[in-house]
Structure 1
Amino acid sequence: MTRIRRLGTAVALAVTVAWAGSGCTVIPVSGPYTVNDQGAGDPLSKPFHRMIAIKPQPNWGIDETMRGLQAAMAAYADDPSILLSYLTPEARAKWSAGGPVTVVEDAIDVVPPPPREATDPVLKVVLKGKYAARIDEDDTYTPTGGSWEQPFDLVKAPQGGYLVKSLPQGLVLTRADVRRAYRPTTLYYLNRSLQDRLVVDRVRLRLKTTESFAQTVLERLLKPPTATLKDAVTTSLPEGTRIESIRSGEGGERVVVNLSGPLDLSSRDALRAQIKYSLNANDVAKGRTIEIQANGEPYTTALPNTDESWLDDSGKTAYYVTKGAIHYLSKDGPGGVVAGAAGEQRDGYSDFAVSKEENGNSLVAARTSTGISVAAMVPQGRWQEVIHGKGDDFTAPTWHRDGSLWTYDRKDSVLLRYDPSSGRGAEPVEAPNLAGLDVTRLRIARDGVRVMVMTGRNTVQISALTGEGPQMKLGNLRALTATNEADKIIDVAWGDEEHLLVLVQSQAGHILTEINVGDGESTGVPLTERLRSVAALGDRVLAETDKGAKLLELGQDRQTWTAKIDSDAGAPLFPLG
């Protein structure tokens, strides 16, 4: 068995450092190269390594052929002809690059062919490695794991060397290939039900030498969202819209985007926001004025540091609970109790949730032994039970940005929605994906679209609220993360529109992980004490310690914790999330 370490071998490839949308400079290969994405050049583009593969050579053995084939896979998008030159006519007629891209770890082992009859012209070769991820046709990137194995049939080529007689469908890339030629990309669509907030969609896009990265981003924005947001978001860019050009103007201080197609004047604000935030999030127009044209004529202009309401998190106040009473947190520590009954101490109330702040006022919900109750945080506010039943049968309440309250009735296996403005009681919401699942937690994100669904004690899934009005339902369920069977998830909290914080009790201790819900990439957060609960809003993270009821805040360095309250501080919470 031999191991492919492709970038250290010059026989099968060359590597080019390229700017998307510019010319290329060839670098002789003597080992791996890295480049800084923030290098000099067109600010609308990003530098990257382009793979240059070569055709199979008559003097190559099996190992060289497999190295060359893998390099040709990485270079396929730029030059499909090289990969096809590795295939026999029969294999060429059957093979297609379509379908998901399989991403494997960089180290790949070549298992040599077993002994065969002298009359058998086919050599059975197997590549072995480990799965790293999958890139679907809608550009969704999903981390995976486990052993990867792929067989190949090789035959002697008439001119010498080997050709591949059978090649499984689709491309196989190494993690290094993806790091080199793809970029994590953030796109923004509109919340379908309210259309008052942008919703993040996370994809992996391949950089191209034929266009700037800014154009690659906007061309993808013209397409439907990924499957996780299907029917949950909409767009202000109507079908038929085209990107005619994107260029820098006025010494690089301005970006000019020229569109054509059936643009709607009534959606001008939303279109400006979608384009601005999609470009800014990917560092190709940040801090610059974006001029949007329609057929070369001025259409709208996005100025830096404007339109912030499109990413509104619905309130910045931090709260915590002490003996059943809701307190607000000041900049330096305790700030006092909230107004009304919600600020009074009482037993039997738990799992508090705060609604979107409206004119400085909010509603708070809590689970009790007899159901779920709601109170306004105003002087005359009183607790009112709005969902009746045994409290343990319901998941902790969660608020939607439209003002409705949600919970899952575990006893009757039904998702419930209560609208305080309707005058009616809680009503069922269609949620076919949850049938037969042991739903233990449910939290709606501040974008009003994504929903965290925890099943059992150690699995987190992501869903989305699709449709509008009476037709709204919970759909598009997909797995996000699962812990070891012996572990237990203690708490889950939305941070910003892209990230979940997951607190786990493992055999090794407590673990806090921040997970990007778009691509599953995770980052560990160091802990200095065992935690009981967490709450987050953007970059701000609060946590209650497991002992001593101390309230901590995570520093901006994401490494250190500072005590905000030393004792008698219960579960922290922010509006929504």
Structure 2
Amino acid sequence: MGADPRRNGQAGIRRASALLGCSGVLLAGCASMPDSGDVHAVKASQRADSQVRVYAVPPRKDATPDEIVTGFLEAMTSDDTNFDTARSYLTPEASEKWQPEESTTVLASAPDPGVPVPGRRDNPGMSYPLLGRHIATVDAQHAYQPVTPSEYRRTIHLSQKAGPDGKQWRIDSLPAGLLLGASDFERNYRSVNKYYFASGRDVVVADPVYIRQRQDPVTRMDPVTQAVKALLEGPTSWLKPVVESRFPTGTEMKLKDGATSLSFDDRNGLKVPLDDKASNVGRTQCMKMAAQIMFTIKDLSAARLEQVELLRSNGSQLCVMSAGQAEGYAPDHSSGRPDNQYFVDSKRRLALLAAGATEAGEPQNVAGPFGDGRLALDAVGVARDEHKAAVVAGDFSRLYVASIVSDSRLPDPVITSAGKGPDNGLTAPSWDGRGDLWVADRDPDGPALKRLPNGSDAPEEVRIVPGLDGARIQAVRVSADGARIALLLTEGGSTTLKIGRVERHGDSDDPVVTVTELRPAAPQMETVTAVSWAGPSRLVVVGKEAGGVQQVRYIQTDGSTVPKGILPGLNQVKSVAASDDESQPLVAYSQEDGIVRLPAGANWQTLVKEGTAPVYPG
């Protein structure tokens, strides 16, 4: 069969628009241009470089339906003000209804216009199917929601409308919001953590959202101002039940007339003017409001942010917070020092590698019954203050808690499981920032997720809502803020990763704790072997995609991928651990290489040839 001339025409439009769009030749489509260097043609599905800029080009006179559809799809990928050029492909009525900011549908690659279907007498014009593979949606709250990859098929309809230049083809019906391929989405958007306070606690929790890389086409705000605006709008729906904002409800920025951006002063401070709703808050509340802004934008500025100053609606100062003061609200500040790395040595004792050490040498065993050989350890979890640890022993059937800084007797087990072995006994334990200890019992006859308040009180079963529907917990990792939990769940021969909210209701001294609304965190992976928290909203996982090989990679807790998140190859990885401090190196256990570490900018380095179960505190 011969090539489809209609598709060849579309490809020609995309290539030509990149080369000629800014030289006065008006073609349907957009020119893709870097901020510096040579102009070169790229297809929409190939734009992954955040430095590439897309400049929208309006439709030429008498543009064909193919050109209109292709040009509109390209124009949606631009930073054009209010998407004005994209709107020029629409009828006035369709343009008025179209709200690109309400949602973004993300496809694996750029949407493909299918073969057009001529209209009928009762509905003249042309209909084009838009085809692709749906992988995620970003809602009006900027929250990324991955979906199980599935076929995307929607319809875009064109009709001829009379105008000054005669009848012209325009789009009169289209899907809601923006429609972008993954590479265009990554080029246009970036992940940012908003921060709110854990309910009832003065500890911040990350709430990841996506904002525009450069100016927002609708608001014209830069990324810093976009992030503050998103913060003031409140937490995303998924996280809202377990966090609180210290800003009075409805608080907004009060920018000067015509201004669209906040600015930094010469001391790397940021002034944020607020409206009347915040003008009368007390100093304590104001400082917590400033802390939320400090954490939210600290990674958006090229220079280190030194302070945040909040202003009343009349321009007077409400409060000032320094970067150092804000750290008092961080969820990972409990130890006050860099985390040590721990592992189970060749004699199944708990050993540590001091923070900052360049090589392990002879392992240094901890004090007490977990380091002197009285107990053969299977798995371990070290409390975040590094004063005590929880270990699983007895072929994964018993859980013990004891000091690791002083000698003591071997305590009685705090949990005993009827199941045994690495698949049916207890999971490795995990400590949250509240000092509570979590573990799952994988006994086939009585599986349960359990929490030990304060790490020493009687274990309580934690209900998961809705239930697991036959899936079994294989691993448990709780976030430092205690508001979220990562679970590896096995069902039907594969293990997937899900994130749940940790909700506490009733008496604050004796709450009823549930894990609620589990959502996929690594939908692109067919199976996940190991997981660890690696920062406020980032995880490091070991797993593989369908038909792929094992990878160690970073992902966001919302299920989105981290740019350049795939780490150097490592074979037969069984466990991985990361610190809440993202500057600390990863550690992992490989059946081939033993305990290994990945310093920044380097490859994996063997620390201990004989050892298993590496962990950071947590």
- Classify the TM-score, shorter chain: 0.7 to 0.9
Deviation of the 1:384 alpha carbon: 2.6
For 1:251, what is the secondary structure of its paired residue? coil
Q: Partners in 2 of 1:508 and 1:182 — Cα distance?
A: 27
Report the CA distance between 1:365 and its aligned residue.
3.2
Which of 453, 467, 472 in structure 2 is aligned with 1:434?
467
Q: 1:203 aligns with which of 199, 203, 209?
A: 209
Is 1:186 the counterpart of 2:193? The answer is yes
Cα contact 1:228–1:463 (8 A) shared by 2: no
Q: 78, 82, 87: which is aligned to 1:79?
A: 82
Secondary structure, aligned partner of 1:363: strand
* 1:568 alignment partner, one of 568, 586, 610: 610
Q: Which residue of 2 aligns with 1:33?
A: 33
- For residues 229 and 95 of structure 2, the distance between their equivalents in structure 1, rounded to whole angstroms, comes to 30
- Say if 1:481 and 1:52 are closer, same or farther in 2 by CA, change over 3 A: same
Q: Which residue of 2 aligns with 1:491?
A: 530
- 1:269-348 to 2 correspondence within 5 Å? 269-283=287-301, 286-295=304-313, 296-313=315-332, 314-315=334-335, 316-322=339-345, 323-330=347-354, 331=357, 332-333=359-360, 334-346=362-374
Cα distance in structure 1, aligned partners of 2:18 and 2:160: 19
* Structure 2 counterparts to residues 367-382 of structure 1, below 5 A: 367-369=393-395, 370-377=397-404, 378-382=406-410
- Give the SS at the match of 2:69: helix
Q: Which residue of 2 aligns with 1:19?
A: none
3-state SS of paired residue (1:571): strand
CA distance in 1: counterparts of 2:550 and 2:331, whole angstroms: 32
Letter in 2 for 1:568: E
Distance 1:72 1:498 in 2: 32
C-alpha displacement of 1:461: 0.8
| Matching of residue 125 in structure 1 with residue 112 in structure 2 | no
**Residue among 431, 434, 454 paired with 1:399:** 431
Question: Structure 1 residues 69, 107: CA separation in 2 closer, same or farther (over 3 Å shift)?
Answer: same
TM-score (norm 2): 0.78
Name the CA distance, whole Å, in 2 between partners of 1:349 and 1:139. 45
Aligned length: 546
SS in 2 for 1:458: strand
Write the letter of the residue equivalent to 2:599: G
In the aligned structure 2, how far is the partner of 1:59 from the partner of 1:124?
A: 18
Correspondence for 1:517: 557
Q: Distance in 2 between matches of 1:120 and 1:304?
A: 61
The answer to whether the Cα contact below 8 Å between 2:307 and 2:323 also exists between their aligned partners in 1 is yes
- Change in 2 beyond 3 A, CA 1:255/1:427: same
Contact 1:273 1:310 in 2 (8 A): yes
Q: What is the CA-CA distance between 1:105 and the residue it aligns to? A: 5.1
Relative to 1, partners in 2 of residues 1:571 and 1:126: Cα closer, same or farther, differing over 3 Å? same
Amino acid at match of 1:399: W
Map 1:8-157 onto structure 2 (within 5 A). 8-10=15-17, 31-35=31-35, 49=53, 51-52=55-56, 54=58, 56-71=59-74, 73-74=76-77, 78-79=81-82, 86-87=89-90, 99-104=102-107, 107-114=110-117, 121-131=124-134, 133-143=136-146, 145-157=149-161
* Aligned match of 2:502: 465
Q: Secondary structure at the match of 1:339?
A: coil
Cross-structure match for 1:237: 247
Instruction: Report the Cα offset of residue 268 of structure 1.
Output: 3.7
User: Is the Cα contact below 8 Å between 1:255 and 1:285 reproduced in 2?
Assistant: no
DSSP 3-state at the match of 1:64: helix
Q: 1:564 to 1:80 in 2, by over 3 A?
A: closer
User: Contact between 1:366 and 1:374, CA under 8 Å: does it hold in 2?
Assistant: no
Task: Measure the CA separation in 2 of the matches of 1:117 and 1:387.
Answer: 71
- Which residue in 1 is equivalent to 2:41? none
Cα deviation for residue 53 of structure 1 reads 5.0
Residues 118 and 398 of structure 1: is their aligned pair in 2 closer, same or farther, counting only changes over 3 Å?
closer
Shift of 1:354: 1.1
Q: Give the drift of 1:222.
A: 0.8
Displacement, 1:387?
Answer: 1.9
Deviations along 1:15-69, one digit per CA (max 9) or x if unpaired, are 8xxxxxxxxxxxxx98411238xxxxxxxxx999575453x55511121111233
**Offset at 1:139?**
0.6
Matched residue of 1:272: which SS?
Answer: helix
CA distance in 2, matches of 1:449, 1:529: 33
Q: Does 1:551 align with 2:582?
A: no
What amino acid maps onto 1:167 in structure 2?
Answer: L
Q: CA deviation at 1:544?
A: 2.1
**Quick one: distance in 1 between partners of 2:589 and 2:456?**
35
Counterpart selection for 1:477 from 518, 526, 535: 518
1:42 is matched with none
Shift in Å, 1:418: 1.4
Supply the RMSD in Å over aligned alpha carbons.
3.6
C-alpha contact 2:31 2:54 (8 A) present in aligned 1 = no
Q: Any conservation in 2 of the 1:143–1:521 contact (CA below 8 Å)?
A: no
Structure 1 residues 235 and 544, CA, compared in 2 at 3 Å: closer, same or farther?
A: same
Q: For the Cα contact (< 8 Å) 2:31–2:57, is it kept in 1?
A: no
Q: 1:220 aligned to 2:230? A: yes
Counterpart residue identity of residue 33, structure 1: M
Once the two structures are overlaid, the 10-residue window that deviates more, 496-505 or 303-312, is 303-312
Distance 1:569 1:343 in 2: 14
Give unpaired runs (5+ residues) of structure 1. Answer: 16-28, 37-45
8 Å CA contact 2:432–2:482 kept in 1: the answer is: yes
TM-score after normalising by structure 1: 0.83
> 1:218: Cα distance to partner?
0.9
Letter in 2 for 1:461: K
CA distance, structure 1, for counterparts of residue 198 and residue 587 of structure 2: 27
Aligned-pair identity in percent equals 23
8 Å contact from structure 1 (residues 57, 160) kept in 2? no
What is the deviation of 1:203? Answer: 0.9
Residue 41 of structure 1 corresponds to none
Instruction: Indicate conservation of the 8 Å contact 1:445/1:451, yes or no.
Output: yes
Task: Identify the residue that residue 531 of structure 1 maps to in structure 2.
Answer: 573
Structure 1 CA distance for aligned equivalents of residues 169 and 566 of structure 2: 46
Q: Which amino acid aligns with 1:427?
A: E
1:163 aligns with 2:170: yes
Alignment counterpart, residue 259 of structure 1, candidates 274, 288, 291: 274
